[in-house]
Amino acid sequence: MPERGELIVHAGFAKTGSSALQFWLDQNADALAEAGVRYPREGISAAEAPGGITSGNGKSLAQFLVRRLREPGFERRVFRKEFREKFLPAPGERVLVSREQIRSFDPELLRRFKDQIIPEVRLTFVLFIRDIYGSIRARWMQAVKRAAWTESLEKEIASFQLNTPDRLKDLVAVLGPENVRLLHYDSVAGDVVGAFLKTIGLEGAFSGKVARAPLVNRSLTDAEARVLMECSAIHRRKDASQRISDHFMEHYPDRAVAHIPDPAVITALNERFADEIRWVNDNFFEGRDVFSAGRVGAPSGPARDASDVSDDQVWREVALFLVEKLAVRLERLDSKRPVRRKQNLV
């Protein structure tokens, strides 16, 4: 009897290097296929996508599993037909789907997908979990960059609710613990791709060293974040904060620092979420002290050697950026004005 096919779903969690991983998967789809894992493209390639961010190849699956993502006219019958045509693994084949939004799945819809859409294949979920402080700060930083957010990180921490353990419990209930694989992002942040490949059984499948995923959608430095928030407090426009943050990331892609959190905040978060932390470690890391609020004195993200720039330097960069945009706009206005010819008066 032929071995069952396997559908591997990478579903985040949020702010755990998904953009960089998805970029790598897209650019290495042929090599993955040769190694025995098919990664069907859905949408434009990473080379064509703005900033290299494709959000993965699992948009249709996310729409099935998360009702709020469904577009008008979504039909389960059509989804079933199209998904099976494109993603269904043949006997003995392995297919990979990646989309962060899948983490918001409805447990009942996931069960229907498993039992009614792909009943003949094995369904495996792979997720990365990030230490609590780093996760909060990364989400807050994303809001500062993309949504003109001006609330302080302290307010974000005070209102934070940890729901990843509940998501994991739902996955285990539907798929069984043997089909849920959890990686600790902070432990593998320097090589997310390598850790992922090892987890899905492709360690050593590629000749030579696996190319490291590029830095995609980097965080801002502390100075960049402070300046951007001051700008957002004035303009209060999402598109403006996006353009300024994109300017930072495009012109200074390697500028980043390791943010060191306040030890008192780490201690308070460890106490506040002690039960949830213990459950994750007991069920996925053999009771070892792996997942936590963060380590006192340790950076909340991948450590880098660069020093932070000053606020004054960032303000100068913003001023130059705005002057360049103003010059372009004035040139466009000049080009639309009628040409006035001088009259020769004799």
Domain boundaries, the chain: 6-132+160-199, 222-336
The answer to whether residue 341 scores a pLDDT higher than 60 is no
Q: Give the model's pLDDT for residue 344.
A: 56
Residue 215 confidence class, pLDDT cut points 50, 70, 90: low
pLDDT: is 44 or 283 the higher one? 283
DSSP three-state, residue 74: coil
Q: Round the average pLDDT of the chain to a whole number and report it.
A: 90
Residue 70 CB contacts under 8 Å (≥ 6 apart), including other chains: 63, 64
Structure token digits, residue 31: 């090599």
Mean pLDDT within 84-91: 97
Give the whole-angstrom CA distance, residue 27 versus residue 12. Answer: 19
The answer to whether residue 153 scores a pLDDT higher than 80 is yes
Mean pLDDT within 196-202: 95
Residue 256 confidence class, pLDDT cut points 50, 70, 90: low
Which CATH code for domain 6-132+160-199?
A: 3.40.50
The answer to whether residue 165 scores a pLDDT higher than 80 is yes
pLDDT: is 46 or 31 the higher one? 31
Residue 51 confidence class, pLDDT cut points 50, 70, 90: low
Pick from 247, 213, 212, 209: nearest CA to 228? 247
Task: Report the percent of the chain where pLDDT is more than 70.
Answer: 88
